Amino acid sequence: MIRINRETDYGISILTLMARRRRERFNAAELAQWRRLPQPIVSKILKHLARNGILISYRGVQGGYALARSPEEISLADIIVALEGPISLTECVIGGADACQYGANCAVSARWRHINQKIRMALEAISLAEMDVSEPTGTPTGGQAITVHHSCV
């Protein structure tokens, strides 16, 4: 089965919230509370996203995380690659003929590369801004919870 991992799903959910209020800085504790996720997982996701250029990390008392680019400039492919690595349905797509014992004799590797390219193009065509379609806007402050409609959390 082809699917993104749980951390990537959580990461997209977190980034969607950040995109809605893009001029603000967020810390892991508040994002974890608002998304009702464990803080250690949120911290790990935020660090990966910052390390891979999706977020900017700010230190100090007023520190936190903010989007590195506008939500319209961040694609789902960018996020998936940042959290999971290259988008690849099979080993031969990223590793070439040497990644498989059948190598040059494989009858389907060219088709897998084509399919992989189509999937990647579809993910590149969807921006983070487009992911925010069903969630209510709100101003979560002072421990006030917001209602979140999320498919997997």
Work out the average pLDDT over 104-117: 81
Confidence grade of residue 9 (pLDDT, cut at 50, 70, 90): very high
> Which carries the bigger pLDDT value, residue 136 or residue 2?
2
* CA–CA dist 10, 22 (Å, integer): 18
Q: Which domains does the chain have, with CATH numbers?
A: 6-131 (1.10.10.10)
Q: What SS3 class is residue 55?
A: strand
pLDDT at 103: 65
pTM (2 d.p.): 0.79
